[in-house]
């Protein structure tokens, strides 16, 4: 075989390898989609000219809740607590009921907020249920979360971005009433950055700036 034929085969093979790798399986497999570390922050803004809103998320120093180390996420002054383990991200849920001027804890615990690693098509769900006898009245609380890793798309700026659809349901029922709360969220996660976009009942928010330690 002549030198031209050999070099032709070699460069065709190389081109084939490069084009085959465009699926970016390693980026999706080997990067962190939920960087959870003290000092990380993300700024989000909606694109509504008439009703502009900003949301800032900052990861504070770790705390211990229910014997579990978790990171407080300061979401524009409102705290959410997340912890990371081998199965994914857990969120601390606390449901209280005010009675006689005091808040009583009906339900508390950790639920799976995000199952990691992210794989397209994966569905996850978790729930908590508990009850409390409050002045001879049973109050029952139920919290559930369902998630679906819907798809991923290549974003020119952020890389392989996963879309996750999450629904949350919460019920507090007494003998004569039930208060139900449902929330649907669509979240977009980018490698080594985390949440870059989300849609909820307040609108669509996109990351404008971030800092990852």
Q: Is 149 in the site for another protein (CB under 8 A)?
A: yes
25 binds another protein (CB under 8 A): yes
Between CA 187 and CA 167 the distance in angstroms is: 11
Residues within window 80-109 making contact with another protein, judged by CB under 8 A: 86-88
State phi, psi for 99 to the nearest 5 degrees. Answer: -145, 120
Closest distance to another protein from the beta carbon of 192 (Å): 9
Q: How far is CA 205 from CA 8, 144, 180, 190, in A?
A: 49, 24, 25, 15
Q: For residues 26 and 129, which CB has a smaller minimum distance to another protein in the complex?
A: 26
Among 6, 9, 26, 179, binds another protein (CB under 8 A): 26
Answer yes or no whether residue 212 interacts with another protein by CB under 8 A.
Answer: no
Determine, following the binding rule CB under 8 A, whether residue 35 of this chain makes contact with another protein: no
Residue in 198, 200, 201, 146 with CA at minimum distance from that of residue 168: 146
- Cβ within 8 Å of residue 192, ≥6 positions away: 31, 32, 35, 212
- Nearest approach, Cβ of 41 to another protein (angstroms)? 22
CA 40 to chain centre: 15
Output 47 or 154, the one with its CB closest to another protein: 154
- Whether residue 117 is preceded by a cis peptide bond, meaning omega within 30 degrees of 0, is yes
18 binds another protein (CB under 8 A): yes
Point out which residues bind another protein (CB under 8 A).
17-18, 20-32, 86-88, 115-117, 119-122, 149, 159, 191
């Amino acid at each position: 075989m002549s030198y031209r034929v050999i070099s032709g085969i070699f460069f065709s093979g190389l081109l084939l390898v490069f084009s085959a790798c465009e699926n970016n399986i390693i980026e999706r497999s080997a990067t962190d989609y939920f960087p959870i570390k003290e000092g990380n922050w993300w700024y989000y803004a909606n694109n509504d000219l008439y009703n502009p809103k900003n949301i800032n998320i900052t990861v504070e120093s770790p705390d211990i809740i229910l014997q579990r180390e978790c990171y407080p996420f300061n979401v524009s002054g409102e705290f959410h607590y997340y912890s990371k383990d081998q199965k994914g991200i857990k969120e601390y849920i606390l449901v209280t009921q005010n009675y006689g001027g005091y808040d009583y804890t009906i339900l508390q615990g950790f639920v799976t907020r995000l199952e990691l690693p992210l794989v397209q098509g994966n569905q996850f769900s978790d729930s908590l249920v508990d009850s409390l006898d409050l002045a001879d009245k049973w109050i029952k609380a139920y919290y559930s979360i369902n998630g679906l890793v819907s798809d991923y798309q290549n974003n020119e700026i952020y890389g392989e971005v996963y879309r996750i659809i999450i629904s949350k349901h919460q019920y507090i029922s007494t003998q004569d009433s039930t208060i139900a709360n449902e929330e649907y969220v669509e979240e977009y996660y980018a490698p080594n950055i985390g949440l870059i976009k989300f849609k909820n009942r307040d609108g669509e928010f996109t990351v404008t700036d971030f800092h990852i330690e």
